[in-house]
Amino acid sequence: MRHTVLISLCIAGVASLSACQKSSDAEVERALKSINVIDETNLNDVMLTVADPNEAVTYFQRASAENPDRIDLRRGLAQSLIRARKPTEAAAVWRGIIDGGHGSNEDRVGLANALIRANDWKGAESELNKIPPTYETYERYRLEAMVADANKAWKKSDAFYETAVGLTTKPSSVLNNWGYSKLTRGDYPAAEQLFAESLSYDSSVFTTKNNLVLARAAQRKYDMPILTMTQTERAQLLYTAALAAIKQGDVVIGRGLLEDAVETSPVYFEQATRALQALDNTVTSG
């Protein structure tokens, strides 16, 4: 009898141990799955920000193929294709998400962005028109402003740019775009003001510095604005001002600016030197 009880206890103990083991295994699996999700999320973030764009495309292509129901991975693929400068392919991915019934307003904005980059302005405008006015984001209004610019609808453009600026804490890029819009319209004082404001948020962007010099030169203000700049940047900006001066008939001023550019540059400035020689040859032959 005692043997029977002992055997029963042993069997119960083994069953209990087995149950504990299974419970423990399940908890481990859940923990590992949780860790894997965290690791994947971190990896996805890395791929979308600092990874090589083409490597990110390959990663998201493989991941979305293995998990076709994961819309987040397809969005990652579309964003990576934009970074890899493949907007047409990115537009196709976003179109697939939207046509599949899983798209959001943010996805439609992403599609419009891809279409603009692919130079399909009408397509982008059509997509933006499908977004309800209650969906107000910086990216949406930045794109709306660009489309209005393309249509030369200046009042709309200004309104959209102003709204976009108010929806971000980092408006330097959109201010530069707005300034360039004013520059193309011939409103040089407004362009100068917007480029200067853009640089007050981010003083490192050379394109904005160059645009500022162009806006000033268009008003025959050829002196260098007070900016943080390297010696190489200063030489390039002097060159920009020189070309603008020569184009406007201020040849003597342009020559002086070219000479300053050559002297300022820490390395041989071939473009400025060639322009100076061409100017000298024109004067000599004339």
From residue 123, give the alpha-carbon distance in Å to each of 35, 111, 113: 42, 9, 10
115 assigned to some structural domain: no
Q: How many separate domains does the chain show? A: 1
| Residue with the larger pLDDT of the pair 278 and 32 | 278
196 assigned to some structural domain: no
14 assigned to some structural domain: no
pLDDT at 27 (0 to 100): 57
185 assigned to some structural domain: no
pLDDT band at 127 (very low <50, low <70, confident <90, very high): very high
pLDDT band at 41 (very low <50, low <70, confident <90, very high): low
Whether 18 shows a pLDDT value over 70: the answer reads no
Whether 22 shows a pLDDT value over 90: the answer reads no
263 assigned to some structural domain: yes
What percent of the chain shows pLDDT beyond 90? 72
Q: Are 235 and 229 in contact (CB under 8 A)?
A: no
Largest CA distance in the chain: 127
286 assigned to some structural domain: yes
Mean pLDDT of 107-114: 97
> Is the overall model pTM greater than 0.95, yes or no?
no
257 assigned to some structural domain: yes
Written as six digits, the tokens of 47 are 């791929």
User: Residue 241 sits in which domain range?
Assistant: 230-286
Axis crossing angle, helix 71-83 with helix 53-66, rounded to the nearest 10: 160
From residue 247, give the alpha-carbon distance in Å to each of 90, 190, 214, 239: 41, 21, 12, 12
